[in-house]
Amino acid sequence: MALKDTTTPYTGMIEPFAAGGNVGFGVAVIRSAAKTVKGSLADNADNIIGFSVQPANGVVLDEDGFYQAVNNASVPDAVRVARDGIINALVSTKADTDIIDGDYLECAPFGTPACYIGVLNEAGSDAGETRLTTCKAQALEDVTMGAATYKTPSVNVVIGDKTVTFTAENLALLDLEEGDYIVLEDVNGDAQLNRVKSLTSTVVTLQFASTVAVAAATDLVYKVHQVKCLILK
């Protein structure tokens, strides 16, 4: 299924900011400088100012699905940030859980220390039943995720690689399609939000070269889902 627009008929105020890093569509963003944003840092982040949404009609970015701090013209892209209302946010899980309508969501801690990514997951102990001060969205639909959402590659990924190899079984479980967002995570180091450029039965070609060293059998690649969410204040 192709990705949906991040905005909905119920999205509220949208304001422009400069990109302070690679920012996907539908991530929680924080201020990184005056009128500049990047993905949020970790599950204890309480400084979210809104969520990135896709460009206005007719605006074409140099990288599909991403605003960049340095585009082909060597300037930052203008990020549209939704301040309130309902959007389709990027959500993943780091446990064998699913999203249930009404779950509270906070920023997922990818990487050690956590990296500026802005993808959400269920709040608290992966249950999402309790609203914490760090919750920045509430799910408005059920989305099946579970353990099939994260798998280990079968071959080491080194920094600079543009492919990730899996067993056919694991890649089938991830159920990826071209254009899907994924997170590559060194569980003892960095993480990166990326996208599927193309894939075979065992190999995913990445949109961006990996900035993360992902070890076979120990580190993880996560599928990122879109979830209809209410932005919380």
Check residue 33 and give its pLDDT: 93
Provide the CATH number for the domain around residue 191.
2.40.30
User: Cα separations (Å) of 184 from 67, 150, 191?
Assistant: 19, 10, 5
Asked whether residue 113 is domain-assigned, the answer is no
Q: Is residue 114 a part of any domain in this protein?
A: no
Q: Which pLDDT score, from 0 to 100, does residue 49 have? A: 93
| 27 domain-assigned | no
Per-residue confidence in pLDDT tens, the chain, 233 aa: 568 999 999 999 999 999 999 999 999 999 999 999 999 987 656 689 999 999 999 899 999 999 999 999 999 999 999 999 999 999 999 889 999 999 999 999 898 887 899 999 998 766 677 788 889 999 999 999 999 999 999 999 999 999 999 999 999 999 999 999 999 999 899 999 999 999 999 999 999 999 999 999 899 999 999 999 999 98
Quote the number of domains for the chain: 1
In a domain, residue 124? The reply is no
Tokens 């990730």: give the residue.
Answer: 164
In a domain, 52, yes or no: no
Give, as one character, the DSSP assignment of residue 2.
P
Question: Looking at the domain assignment, is residue 133 inside a domain?
Answer: no
Task: Note whether residue 166 is domain-resident.
Answer: yes
Closest CA to 53 of 76, 78, 74, 71: 78
To which H or E segment does residue 169 belong?
A: helix 168-174
Note if the bond before 76 is cis, omega within 30 degrees. no
Amino acid at 99: I
Q: What is the pLDDT of residue 133?
A: 83
Question: Can you give the pLDDT at residue 3?
Answer: 86
Q: What's the whole-model pTM score?
A: 0.95
> Where in the sequence is the domain holding 165, given as residue range(s)?
147-224
